[in-house]
Amino acid sequence: MRIALATCQQVPDLYESEQYLLNELSAYAAVEAVVWNDTSINWSGFDMVIIRSTWDYHEHFTDFTNWLNQLETLKIKVLNPVSVINNNIHKFYLKHLQESNLPIIPTYFLTKKEALHFSLLDLAKERHWDGIVVKPAISASAWHTYKLADLTQIEAFQFPIESDWLIQPFMKEITTHGEISLMYFNKQFSHAVVKNAKPGDFRIQKEFGGNVAFFKTTDEIISTADSIISHYNAPLLYSRIDGIITKNGFKIMEVELIEPELYLLNRELQERFLNAIIHQINTSSI
């Protein structure tokens, strides 16, 4: 079996904490890291493609979805499955979760057509949101994500790109308690971390000065995350549930099913993810 671990040009050899996979999976298959949009690659030569650090997909959306469709046409096993990625790539999937009575944070789903004549100020006043966060429906790593801290900033804001948008109240809990991420391998809970922004910022990503630490989670939080995972019928090699702890319980911010960092912070977690992949190899019908 030949397996491609799909990555991007910025990290052609995979993210540092996952490079061990190249050596340790070699006992089970021929494995290599492959940049997803490298035009020299003959994808038909692979039996399985595991999507990992394709962290620029939102900037090349059409090419990325065309590539996924190509893999599907070639009948290559993709993890997570193409159908899951196509659903997860546009953040309006949160609307479906909301309609299924799953606990996401309050969100207004704004279509690109509606955005042409939309008043953020009216929405904020109607919902009593003093501050809001605006982000594109297709994005990653806080790309074109804006925190508008007061009604003056909200009134002055103009959408910088043509896109569908998510409009959410700024949740102060992210600066006081941080954002919680729960990792699942083959739909089984593995571990949790808490991510905190640097002082004065709201973005928890490392490139913006954020930091991460292990988080001792609770049965209530795991139960909420489990309800999200069970909502998906397809096989999921990996899943990451991001959320915050509010006075009304754990609320979901995002469900990361495409290429999330999995915070493999020690050897035990690396082996756990390795074994999840080995299980997929051993149970594959290829």
User: pLDDT (tens digit, 9 = 90+) per residue, 257-276?
Assistant: 999 999 999 999 999 999 99
What pTM, to 2 d.p., does this model score? 0.91
In angstroms, the CA 286 to CA 275 distance is 18
pLDDT value of position 268: 97
Pairing of the two strands 48-53 and 2-7: parallel
Amino acid at 98: Q
Say if residue 223's pLDDT is above 80. Answer: yes
Say if residue 198's pLDDT is above 70. Answer: no
How far is residue 253 CA from its own chain's centroid? 10
User: Which domains does the chain possess?
Assistant: 2-88+267-282 (3.40.50.20), 93-104+173-256 (3.30.470.20), 108-169 (3.30.1490.20)
Percent of the chain with pLDDT over 70: 94
Mean pLDDT across the chain: 92
pLDDT in tens, 38-75: 999 999 999 999 999 999 998 899 999 999 999 999 99
pLDDT value of position 209: 59
pLDDT in tens, 153-169: 998 898 878 889 999 99
Cα angle, residue 237 at apex, residues 232 and 241 outer, rounded to 5°: 60
Amino acid at 254: E
Token pair, residue 259, equals 């290429």
Say if residue 220's pLDDT is above 90. Answer: yes
Token pair, residue 160, equals 């910088």
pLDDT value of position 201: 62
pLDDT in tens, 73-91: 999 999 999 999 999 999 9
CA dist 20 → 74, 159, 236, 270, 286 (Å): 28, 41, 21, 8, 24
